[in-house]
Structure 1
Amino acid sequence: MSATPAALALALARTFLFVPADRPERHARALATKAGGVIVDLEDAVAPERKAAARAQLRASFAALSAEERGRLLVRINARGTPWFDGDGALVGELAAEGLIAGVVLPKAERAADLQQLAAGIGRNGVLVPLIESAAGLEAARELAAAPQVLRLAFGNLDFQADLGLACDADEAELLPVRLALVLASRRAGLAAPIDGVTPDWRDAARLAADAARARRGGFGAKLCIHPDQVAPVHAALGPGADELAWARRVVDATRAAGGGVVSLDGRMVDAPVVRLAERLLALDSQKAPS
């Protein structure tokens, strides 16, 4: 995994906002939401007859952005097996070489070889986010997580339901084992916590809150968003609370005061894994909240 400043920030990002590739006037507006990552979508958001035109517009749109904004840009290309995969791959390779994007989201990810191909194209500083949307993708999750330059796994919850013929209620209880599998695959590969799927009705604040809370309980570190109004509440829901931050600061302070090693805090042993958790909570708190 790349360790550039952009990659480190995206590894801690809590929100990834989709924006259509063929609406360049929305790209800067999406970034202005302060979403941790913005995914410019060449796949589902763009009709087949508009894909070539959308692809041609991206360089000019991205060149007008600041370096900080480009560090939060990912492009979702079209999947392997579609007529647009090779052209999209060539384009993102050029954009990455010019420093115009941070990385690529691969939909319908099912083969590590596809990620290896993309990694070679975008260069060592580019990051990859495989989107798990099928039974085959779930089966390959461990290999996908271990592929070069993969930063995080993401869950395409709606497409996954369609692939398996599921009819989930709002709580998506049937998908809990799938979500756990993605968290486990991420942990085994040493990746940042995975990105949970979308809440399709952006006007349903209660559903969004419930989905974000489930993601946090289940070990996800971020969530895909489809509307700017989802960014701020998701960012808040997936961040550490005041009590957690106070605990984390006490852990770090106690460890430093003891010169490292195992210490006791409130009658409980504090060893290296506990210190890492505390440090991660403090790192998450350093991420800017959407304005």
Structure 2
Amino acid sequence: MILERSFLFVPGDRPERFTKAVGAGADRVIIDLEDAVLPDAKEAARDHIANWASSSEAKEIAVRVNAIDTVWNSDDLRLVASLPNIVAVILPKAESRKTVEAVAARLQRRQQLIALVETSLGYVDRLDLARSRGLSRLAFGSVDFCSETGIRGLGSELDPVRIELVITSAATGLPPPIDGVTLEVKNADLLAADIERARRLGCGGKLCIHPAQVAAVNEGFSPTSDEIDWAKRIIAAASASGAVTVDGKLVDKPVLDQARKILAASGRDAAST
């Protein structure tokens, strides 16, 4: 399965944007019921999602529900569990294994559950959180994390947190985590730098707040042509007997595994290369 790279938020109380969002090229559109929707608009937003989901324009989407300790969470979960084209649920303020598993138990079996790590408690308990039954992936809620902790800056200031989420995901068998948003939607240079940093640190995708960010995220988290060419040569060389070198370096199991991951991410079948 090819890993999803780009996750585009669209407010749940703006139904006129739903269809446009799913046409923006993101791997996954997230209709938001949490931060983007004011309290008095929550119920209407759920109705908008239900109506759109039953229309001819409906596509597979994700929904970010409200946190489990809010008055809206139960109704949000009831909605997403009733709609077959909601294929993933984003849980904000994920802080404990108990919470994540309680939410997972209310979802359809085919629905993925992505936990947003965006509080200090969620970060501190990240290993136990990542071991939750029913959890599909971790994502980094960097803006809320900075707001709580007082860390000033969404860039290199947060690299230790990103690295820990990457290591935690690897240790628990989860896919690489999803990096947080870039707030300056018109700053292409900043977006490119954020993408390059996140990918170098081991993240596998990024949250987007504007359609203009999607193409750069998709490209930035996809293997380059040079990486694909290298991976193909590694796979080809590995079929030979005895010790194998490529570009003067020994091809051992970790190198072969890396090559297979690159080809998988590019949508290619290593076995047929």
Q: 1:19 to 1:246 in 2, by over 3 A?
A: same
Q: Does 1:285 align with 2:266?
A: yes
Displacement of 1:66 after TM fit? 7.0
Is this contact kept in 2: 1:126–1:149, CA < 8 A? no
Q: Does 1:247 align with 2:230?
A: yes
Displacement of 1:65 after TM fit? 5.6
Partners of 1:223 and 1:45 lie apart in 2 by: 18
Displacement of 1:267 after TM fit? 3.3
Which residue does 2:136 correspond to in 1?
A: 151
- The secondary structure found in structure 1 opposite 2:46 is helix
Identify which of 59, 64, 75 aligns with 1:87.
Answer: 75
Which residue does 1:63 correspond to in 2?
A: 54
Which residue does 1:163 correspond to in 2?
A: 148
Matches within 5 A, 1:169-188: 172-188=155-171
The residue identity in structure 2 corresponding to 1:286 is G
Task: Identify the range of structure 1 (245-254 vs 118-127) with the bigger mean alpha-carbon deviation.
Answer: 118-127
Is this contact kept in 1: 2:180–2:206, CA < 8 A? yes
The residue identity in structure 2 corresponding to 1:143 is D
Partners of 1:65 and 1:189 lie apart in 2 by: 39
Is this contact kept in 2: 1:63–1:100, CA < 8 A? no
Which residue does 1:228 correspond to in 2?
A: 211
- The secondary structure found in structure 2 opposite 1:258 is coil
Q: CA RMSD in A?
A: 1.8
Q: 4+ runs of 1 displaced by more than 6 Å?
A: none
Q: 1:165 to 1:184 in 2, by over 3 A?
A: same
Is this contact kept in 1: 2:19–2:57, CA < 8 A? no
Displacement of 1:125 after TM fit? 1.6
Displacement of 1:112 after TM fit? 1.2
- The secondary structure found in structure 1 opposite 2:133 is coil
Identify which of 276, 282, 285 aligns with 2:257.
Answer: 276
Partners of 2:157 and 2:247 lie apart in 1 by: 39
Q: 1:66 to 1:251 in 2, by over 3 A?
A: farther
Which residue does 1:3 correspond to in 2?
A: none
Matches within 5 A, 1:191-270: 191-255=174-238, 257-258=239-240, 263-270=244-251
- The secondary structure found in structure 2 opposite 1:144 is helix
Partners of 1:158 and 1:180 lie apart in 2 by: 17
Taking only the aligned residue pairs, the percentage that are identical comes to 44
Is this contact kept in 2: 1:135–1:163, CA < 8 A? yes
The residue identity in structure 1 corresponding to 2:27 is G
Partners of 1:143 and 1:93 lie apart in 2 by: 25
Partners of 1:214 and 1:188 lie apart in 2 by: 21
The residue identity in structure 2 corresponding to 1:48 is P
The residue identity in structure 1 corresponding to 2:113 is L
Q: 1:149 to 1:263 in 2, by over 3 A?
A: farther
Displacement of 1:269 after TM fit? 2.2
- The secondary structure found in structure 2 opposite 1:83 is coil
Residue-by-residue CA offset, 1:130-162 (whole Å, 9 max, x unaligned): 001110010121122111222221001110001
Which residue does 2:271 correspond to in 1?
A: none
TM norm structure 1 = 0.87
Partners of 1:55 and 1:154 lie apart in 2 by: 23
